[in-house]
Amino acid sequence: MSLISVEFNDLRAGGSFFQLIPITMRKQISVAFNFGDSVRLKTEPDMKRIVTGYILRQSGRPMYELAWNVESTWHHEVEIENFSDNSKKVHGFGK
């Protein structure tokens, strides 16, 4: 599991004259899968997919973009598990 920092920028009404005040909110969230991880869907255990992105939903839970062939789909963390083979990372996604 990894921690990522997320920064939100917004304008909020405030002050005595209802002026817009810029605010910045920072939050750290934990993600179970990183970019380049080999994973599979629990409903399709034979198909290997690669984590290519994630977004933070309004609920505070991340959704993961999984790619295979030329397609990609979005999934919740509970739908995904690690693919049990020797290759954990795909070249090009490492730090």
Render pLDDT for 44-55 as a digit per residue (tens, 0 to 9): 988 999 999 988
What's the confidence (pLDDT) of residue 54? 87
Bridge partners, residue 50, by sequence: 38, 67
What's the confidence (pLDDT) of residue 31? 86
Residue ranges, the chain, pLDDT below 70: 1-25, 85-95
Give, as one character, the DSSP assignment of residue 90. Answer: -
What's the confidence (pLDDT) of residue 12? 59
CB atoms closer than 10 angstroms to residue 80 = 19
pTM over 0.85: no
What's the confidence (pLDDT) of residue 55? 86
Record the tokens describing residue 82, joined without a space: 């690690």
Rg (CA), the chain: 18
